Amino acid sequence: MSLAAAAFSACKNNHENIATKDNPLLNPFTSRYGIAPFEEIKDEHFAPAIVRSIDMANEELQLITENKEAPTFENTIAALDRVGQTLTDVTNVFYYYLGANTNDKLQKVAEEMSPVLSKYSDDIYLNDKLFARVKSVYDNKEAFQLNKEQSTLLDKTYKHFVRSGANLDEKGKERLRTINAELSRLSLNFGDNVLGEINNYQLVIEKKEDLAGLPEELIDAAAKDNKWVFTLQNPSVMPFLQYADNRTLRRRIWEAYKNVGNNGNKYDNKVLALQMSNLRREKAQLLGYETFAHYSLEETMAKTPDNVYKLLNQLWEPALEKSKTEASAIKERMQKDGITDEVKPYDWRYYAEKIRKEKYDLNEQELKPYFELKNVRDGIFMVTQKLWGLTFKEVTTLPKYHKDVTTWEVYDADSTLAGILYMDMHPRASKRGGAWMTSFRDQQMKDGKRQIPVIAIVCNFTPPNANGVSLLTFDETTTFFHEFGHALHGLLSNTNYLTLAGTNVSRDFVELPSQVMENWAADPVVMKMYAKHYQTGEVIPDELIRKIQNAGTFDQGFATVEYLAASLLDLDYHSAKENIKMDINEFERQSVQKMGLIDAIIPRYRTTYFRHVFAGGYSAGYYSYIWSGVLDTDAFDAFKSSGDVFNKEKAAGFRKHILEKGGTEDPAELYRRFRGHDPSIKPLLKKRGLVAPSVSVQEN
């Protein structure tokens, strides 16, 4: 018996006697809109609900597999799309809790259930009889006269089986099962370690003079028992690095930040990252691919590692040159303060902020009063109303999993309900860092009616002050617009099949709807509509807008290089053709050295806290943000060049060809249909202030 099979058997024995009628996760979600009864859910409900819903899904699968009728699109492919909806509901809630409201009990459940869910997935895609039915439909597709969406679902279903090992012999399948179960477990452990390390660190300051340079609101937020406590949560560590005059303390918190998961303690991730990289390489080669990057990129717009390296390297040279110029300016500014050292990473944000203020007379603290959280939210609502006629109604009667959450009904221009939106905005110990969008329920057509999606966005924005006011940085404002773009992708989805809905698209296309929204956040016309002083209601002055625009390309060498370095590091791990045997720190050092990265900058994510890659879905795919950056700047240029950032015709085209379509067609074709041509890289270079040779995004 395999490890996964043994785990499933043990879990079933442990949980099968728990009465399903008393488990709110196993009863139909009868609350309005089919939302989970969050207030009734307890930690102990998840494991038995997962085990029981797997049994239910397996019963549905058996009906498909044992069907005596000849395989057809409807009785095989469409039927598979509908399998396991109870399990999907349960796991959507569970993994959402794991990211946004976790605890030790849930993390243990996740570790226990990881091999169980891995086995369930493998049992589908390594089932010979089921694959035979899928292959029969695929081989005879012409006979079924399928429409475009049905053809896409068939192609993706067949490829998913093949890419999941359906063509392997029994020995290969058994090895694949073991690899998948182990990767699932390691990924969970990696993420838990990062969260644990972050929650375990505090920089405690006892002398008021050591707070010099810090904004009052940050000092107030850190105050605790006549001391001041700073953490590795972004709203704490980043402004500390940006404003703290005390270089020694900046270095101390920076060292803690850059060594998350790399301290040789119980949260250490070095071995886990090495194991995962090597297991992914083995999995890819078992399935017939040269490297994991080749396997991962096959179903993306980029297609191959060579295409990704080509884009990243084209951007690397001009970005690196700009970062060197920026570093020289920082060193010169440091010398004015009597510091003759070379520029260190813990100096960069601090002196960049000083230069920004001196060169552009732009102080981020001067901006924050105009970006109060509720005003920014209302600004986003306004943008989506002007573009697509959407309106948002806050409701307080929907189930919530945490008191900080707000819930919204989203209505279309014709007053029909488009979907439900949950928003969870501020950090807490039970929430992992960063910002993300997810769904409790995807859109689909069910019994001839559109099943409305239930979407959530989770962020870690500056917490409210004593008066309940949360003033965002402009970067946080941009992040809010970004995540709302993902939410729109889910909310406006209009597909027939669940697995093609919303954000179920390739990684290097999924960031287009989110990143394009960032452009409205920074547009002067739009800013005048939503950026209002939280106390006086004064609209942001033209002078401040000009300062933001003038500083628009400031520090973009740094921002681009640190991102590209992380993307290249990710690709280096997953382009390995043999097992990586060296220490992870040495591998990272060699990778960074090969890039020619300057010492004053490190990759945005170092290996041991690179959650996108080792605890998320972006392995060999972190490049997708810059790939989508080419798309989003080109897409927004369609609006700007029309003379109207709210151009109704362009907005309708973007909705029809991008937001509504999900994964129903080839993304490159969908983009061409919206834009009328392939994307140009020129708007991205202009936006970032980079000078480069003539380049273009290639598709092979």
Structure tokens at 668: 């490159």
Cβ–Cβ < 8 Å for 437, 503: yes
| Mean per-residue pLDDT, 247-251 | 98
| Mean per-residue pLDDT, 415-427 | 97
For all residues of the chain together, what is the average pLDDT? 94
Residue 697 has pLDDT above 60, yes or no: no
User: What residue spans in the chain does CATH classification 1.10.1370.40 cover?
Assistant: 3-167, 369-550+624-688
| Mean per-residue pLDDT, 122-128 | 97
Q: What is the DSSP string of 492-503?
A: T---SSGGGSTT
CATH of domain 369-550+624-688: 1.10.1370.40
Q: What pLDDT digit, counting tens, does each position of 269-316 carry?
A: 999 999 999 999 999 999 999 999 999 999 999 999 999 999 999 999
Q: How far is Cα 156 from Cα 163, in angstroms, rounded to an integer?
A: 10
As a whole-number percent, the residues of the chain with pLDDT over 90 amount to: 90
For residue 363, the model assigns a pLDDT of 86
Cα 225–chain centre separation: 36
Phi, psi (deg, nearest 5) at residue 422: -105, 140
- The secondary structure of 612-624, three-state, reads HHHCCCCCCCCCH
Structure tokens at 66: 């044992």
Residue 694 has pLDDT above 70, yes or no: no
- pTM, two decimals, is 0.90
Residue 420 host element (H or E): strand 417-424
483 catalytic? Reply is: yes
Cβ neighbourhood burial of 613 (10 Å; 0-12, 13-18, 19+)? buried
pLDDT band at 461 (very low <50, low <70, confident <90, very high): very high
Residue 429 has pLDDT above 70, yes or no: yes
Q: Is the dihedral of CA 9, 15, 17, 22 positive or negative?
A: negative
For residue 644, the model assigns a pLDDT of 97
Structure tokens at 422: 């949950």
Q: What pLDDT digit, counting tens, does each position of 305-345 carry?
A: 999 999 999 999 999 999 999 999 999 999 999 999 999 99
| Mean per-residue pLDDT, 506-510 | 94
- The secondary structure of 94-151, three-state, reads HHHHHHHCCCHHHHHHHHHHHHHHHHHHHHHHCCHHHHHHHHHHHHCHHHHCCCHHHH
Q: Which of 8-22, 408-422, 672-686 has the lowest average pLDDT?
A: 8-22
| Mean per-residue pLDDT, 127-145 | 97
From the candidates 182, 326, 372, 483, give the one annotated as an active-site residue: 483
For residue 19, the model assigns a pLDDT of 52
Residue 531 has pLDDT above 80, yes or no: yes
Residue 130 has pLDDT above 90, yes or no: yes
Structure tokens at 38: 């969050």
Cβ–Cβ < 8 Å for 620, 570: yes
Q: What pLDDT digit, counting tens, does each position of 372-419 carry?
A: 999 999 999 999 999 999 999 999 999 999 999 999 999 999 999 999
pLDDT band at 482 (very low <50, low <70, confident <90, very high): very high
Q: How far is Cα 199 from Cα 233, in angstroms, rounded to an integer?
A: 8
Q: How far is Cα 202 from Cα 429, in angstroms, rounded to an integer?
A: 13
pLDDT band at 692 (very low <50, low <70, confident <90, very high): very low
| Mean per-residue pLDDT, 498-520 | 96
Q: How far is Cα 85 from Cα 91, in angstroms, rounded to an integer?
A: 10
406 forms bridges with which residues in the sheet?
423
Residue 176 has pLDDT above 50, yes or no: yes
For residue 3, the model assigns a pLDDT of 45
Q: How far is Cα 434 from Cα 436, in angstroms, rounded to an integer?
A: 7
pLDDT band at 2 (very low <50, low <70, confident <90, very high): very low
| Mean per-residue pLDDT, 622-629 | 94
Q: What is the DSSP string of 24-41?
A: TTTS---SGGG---GGG-
CATH architecture of 3-167: Orthogonal Bundle (1.10)
Residue 127 has pLDDT above 80, yes or no: yes
Show Cβ contacts of residue 271 under 8 Å, excluding neighbours closer than 6 positions.
Answer: 584
Residue 672 has pLDDT above 90, yes or no: yes
Q: Are strands 417-424 and 454-458 parallel, antiparallel or unpaired?
A: parallel
Q: How far is Cα 548 from Cα 587, in angstroms, rounded to an integer?
A: 39
